[in-house]
Amino acid sequence: MRPPRGYRSEIDIKLSPDPAGPYAGAMPTIYEVASLAGVSPATVSRVINGLPVSGAYAERVRAAATKLNFTPNPTARRLRRRSSQVLALIIPTIENPFFTSLARGVEDVAQGAGYSLVLCDSDERHDKESTYLDVALAEHMAGVVLVPATNHPRLARLLERRTPVVSVDRSIRGTEVDSVLLDNREVARSATERLYARGFRRVGCITGPRETETAQQRADGWREVFSRHHPRTDPERYLRHADFRVAGGRDAMASLLTTRRRPDAVVVTNNSMTVGALETLQRERISPAEMGLACLGDLPYSVLQRAGVEVLPLPARSLGAAAARLLLDRIGGAEGPAQRIVLPIGGGPAIPDR
């Protein structure tokens, strides 16, 4: 029998939670609740956790807990249970609205299920991502939603410990984890076709890094349509790889403008690069009629109708929500091979993205 801080025997009458006591600010523990209710700490624990306890006891414990303003200490709980009610979400950058939307989707689902969410910004860097995965491991997080910064994230230790991981937006080579993806090829195809339908004659493409899956797939979609329209032209002449950032889009557009027989429209495969591309067009005073533009993904803080930019919204929020649901299923013990969900793009998500 140990004498924990604040423990009171049944004889002790002074039961008030002396608010200005020597340990002002200390949270009450189950021991204090137990002695106030006249039961054992174990019984308090059972009540908190919804295990079978006789009605009378349960009531007394609840009353005591309320009176003392008791909240179970999550740290102690986590140490003992070796698990927590916390999910990690690792995104490549918090400053791209696509990922903040995705985060909202994850958060909606997580919160609805009683989990809290820790948001981590990997800054598109393998080392930071790795660090956060270690944190998730060390902190005994219940699961991880990951937008991988590379296609070989260090998941080994996490998976060894059977912590569920779901990858979103980008897939992971080799490792068997659930993933929620977009039909990138289809969305790029559709964007390209719209520009041709609007009457443009030669549609170029600005996509992301060569080694990035989404960048490749989107380029593939564009290439397919382009080659149909220009069977004799090498599509690579009209394709630029940038880095998915504003500056990259700016430079890539500048480069396309100097191409011999330059394109009269461009598909830009993400929101940030579109902003850059527009900046270049503006600087060169090239009107929307001279150079058409399609953007994959929303530009939430832009007002672009006037500029005639063809925007193809991507269901970022749904992506996050679907990933979170998949993760919660696994946490709940769902077995079976890794799932691979591809979200429809045109179909309109149940949860609107803005």
Partner DNA sequence: ATGAAAGCGCTAACAT
Partner DNA sequence: ATGTTAGCGCTTTCAT
Among 4, 21, 112, 300, binds a copy of itself (CB under 8 A): 300
Contact map string, positions 93 to 112, toward a copy of itself, x by CB under 8 A: -xx-x--xx-xx--x-----
Among 16, 17, 21, 42, binds DNA (CB under 7 A): 42
Residue with tokens 């991981």: 165
Shortest distance in whole angstroms from residue 86 CB to DNA: 15
Tell me if 49 contacts DNA by CB under 7 A.
yes
The rounded distance, in Å, linking the Cα atoms of 347 and 87 is 29
Nearest to a copy of itself of 183, 279 (CB atom):
279
Contact map string, positions 10 to 29, toward DNA, x by CB under 7 A: ----------------xx-x
The rounded distance, in Å, linking the Cα atoms of 345 and 80 is 44
Tell me if 57 contacts DNA by CB under 7 A.
yes
Q: Give the 3-state secondary structure of residue 292.
A: strand
Shortest distance in whole angstroms from residue 79 CB to a copy of itself: 5
Tell me if 171 contacts DNA by CB under 7 A.
no
Residues 67-96 touching DNA, rule: CB under 7 A, are 70-73, 76-77, 79-82
Cβ-count burial of 143 within 10 angstroms (0-12 exposed, 13-18 middle, 19+ buried)?
buried
Q: Residue count at the site for DNA (CB under 7 A)?
A: 36
The rounded distance, in Å, linking the Cα atoms of 249 and 256 is 10
Which of DNA, a copy of itself, none binds 340 (CB below 5-8 Å, type-dependent)? none
The rounded distance, in Å, linking the Cα atoms of 168 and 180 is 5
Tell me if 352 contacts a copy of itself by CB under 8 A.
no
H-helix segments, the chain: 30-37, 41-48, 55-68, 74-81, 97-112, 126-138, 156-160, 184-197, 213-229, 246-257, 271-283, 316-331
Q: Give the 3-state secondary structure of residue 324.
A: helix
Residues 118-137 touching a copy of itself, rule: CB under 8 A, are 118-119, 121, 134-135, 137
Cβ neighbours, 10 Å, residue 307:
13
Shortest distance in whole angstroms from residue 73 CB to DNA: 3
Tell me if 210 contacts DNA by CB under 7 A.
no
Tell me if 76 contacts a copy of itself by CB under 8 A.
yes
**CA 216 from chain center: how many Å?**
21
Provide the 8-state DSSP code for 26.
P
Cβ-count burial of 223 within 10 angstroms (0-12 exposed, 13-18 middle, 19+ buried)?
buried
Tell me if 331 contacts a copy of itself by CB under 8 A.
no
Tell me if 21 contacts a copy of itself by CB under 8 A.
no
Q: Give the residues lining the site for a copy of itself (CB under 8 A).
A: 24-27, 71, 73-76, 78-79, 94-95, 97, 100-101, 103-104, 107, 116, 118-119, 121, 134-135, 137-140, 157, 160-162, 271-272, 275, 278-279, 282, 299-307
